[in-house]
């Protein structure tokens, strides 16, 4: 049985990977800086560590010696992560994690990157031809981590891949992110204040993103791999789909929030993901929104009755 360590396992994406890893027969170890009192899944071994503490990643890797590693941990507070100084701290911690993994018998490392490594107006992004011009500290730090992983993989003969995530939504999303925010407003019957929605983006349901990463972990593909739908869509259309499915489109108020002078335009070319990794999405945007709406309905009902399982 192959041992895998997953960082950021309690996060939005990491928690969706846990059952998939178990289904594929991995011995799953998860690390979190918070005490783990309520198991998300049986048969997952939890380790309490703050990976930002110098020496913590090396100590953990010396103890566990996993063959595989999925690295999701990063600073991700909505609205703040673009400029947060914590990005620099995660570059350092990620380098230590990568180095320790290579030094302790690691075989395959898969890290979570971002479309922000390309820049907000890159259009269709292809891994080997699109210029890497990040326009945020977050994007620059993700790119720096990817470049260090690539250098380390060449020096140590380590199999490594870097999944560049585009726009992700679904159950357990931070409530203030756009899709979750609009869903919560419409379900509660209140107005959702939005930008003009002119951005052209690439959305993929979190369960599909998790499936793509777990598939990538078991593949031999190396280097950057875009993780998206490959389908550019106007943000307003995504939000209006929520309106159509709830019957409350009138509550979506476009143009109330500040809109960028030049709308973001960025989506994934997913040829590597489909042709080399052999992965295809399961949910269409319509189906993904429906599943997410049903999850939020259940979560909000539990919250209203004081039941366990409220959104976190």
- Per-residue pLDDT tens for 45-81? 999 999 999 999 999 999 999 999 999 999 999 889 9
Categorize the per-residue pLDDT at 303 as very low, low, confident or very high, splitting at 50, 70 and 90.
confident
Q: What is the pLDDT of residues 268-281, one digit of tens each?
A: 999 999 999 999 99
CATH class of 3-168+203-227: alpha beta
Burial group, residue 124, by CB count within 10 angstroms (0-12, 13-18, 19+): middle
pLDDT band at 311 (very low <50, low <70, confident <90, very high): very low
* Same fold yes or no, 3-168+203-227 and 170-201+232-264+284-305: no
CB 124 within 8 A of CB 267: yes
Q: What pLDDT sits at residue 309? A: 46
What CATH number labels 170-201+232-264+284-305? Answer: 3.90.25.10
Distance CA 248, CA 241 (A): 10
pLDDT exceeding 90 applies to what percent of the chain?
89
- Strands 159-165, 27-32: pairing is unpaired
Torsion of CA 72, 142, 175, 207, to 10 degrees: -50
Quickly list DSSP for 33-44: SS---S-SSTTE
Report residue 306 as tokens. 């004081």
pLDDT at 312: 37
**Structure confidence at residue 248 as a pLDDT band (50, 70, 90):** very high
Domain edges within the chain: 3-168+203-227, 170-201+232-264+284-305
Tokens of 295: 């999850």
| Upper half-sphere CA count for residue 161 (Cβ side, 13 Å) | 25
Euclidean distance between CA atoms 141 and 247, whole angstroms = 41
- CA–CA dist 155, 65 (Å, integer): 19
Give the E-state strand segments of 42-186 in sequence order. Answer: 44-48, 68-71, 108-114, 123-125, 159-165, 167-169
Q: What is d(CA 224, CA 163) in angstroms, rounded to the nearest whole number?
A: 6
Return the SS3 of 298.
helix
Q: What is the pLDDT of residues 109-152, one digit of tens each?
A: 999 999 999 999 999 999 999 999 999 999 999 999 999 999 99
**Residues in the chain, total:** 312
């Amino acid at each position: 049985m192959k041992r895998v360590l997953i960082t950021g396992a309690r996060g939005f994406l990491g928690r969706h990977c846990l059952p998939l890893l178990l289904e594929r027969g991995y011995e799953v170890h998860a690390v979190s800086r918070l005490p783990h009192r309520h198991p998300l899944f049986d048969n997952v071994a939890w380790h309490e560590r703050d990976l930002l503490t110098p020496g913590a990643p090396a100590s953990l890797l010396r103890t566990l010696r996993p063959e595989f590693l999925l690295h999701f941990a990063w600073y991700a507070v909505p609205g703040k992560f673009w400029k947060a100084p914590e990005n620099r701290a995660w570059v350092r911690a990620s380098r230590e994690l990568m180095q320790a993994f290579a030094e302790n018998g690691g075989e395959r490392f898969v890290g979570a990157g971002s479309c922000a490594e390309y820049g907000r107006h890159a259009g269709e992004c292809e891994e080997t031809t699109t210029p890497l011009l990040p326009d945020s500290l977050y994007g620059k730090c993700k790119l720096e981590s990817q470049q260090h992983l690539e250098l380390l993989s060449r020096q140590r003969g380590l199999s490594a891949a870097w999944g560049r995530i585009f726009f992700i939504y679904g159950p357990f999303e931070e409530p203030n992110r756009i899709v979750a925010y609009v869903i919560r407003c419409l379900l509660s019957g209140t107005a959702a204040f939005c930008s003009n929605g002119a951005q052209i983006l690439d959305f993929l349901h979190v369960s599909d993103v998790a499936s793509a990463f777990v598939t990538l972990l078991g593949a031999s593909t190396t280097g950057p791999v875009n993780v998206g739908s490959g389908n550019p869509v106007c943000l307003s259309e995504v939000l209006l789909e929520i309106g159509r499915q709830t019957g409350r489109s009138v509550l979506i108020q476009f143009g109330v929030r500040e809109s960028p002078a030049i709308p973001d335009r960025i989506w994934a070319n997913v040829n590597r993901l489909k042709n080399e990794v052999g992965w295809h999405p399961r949910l269409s945007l319509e189906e993904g929104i429906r599943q997410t709406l049903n999850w939020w309905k259940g979560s909000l009902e539990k919250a209203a009755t004081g039941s366990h399982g409220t959104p976190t």
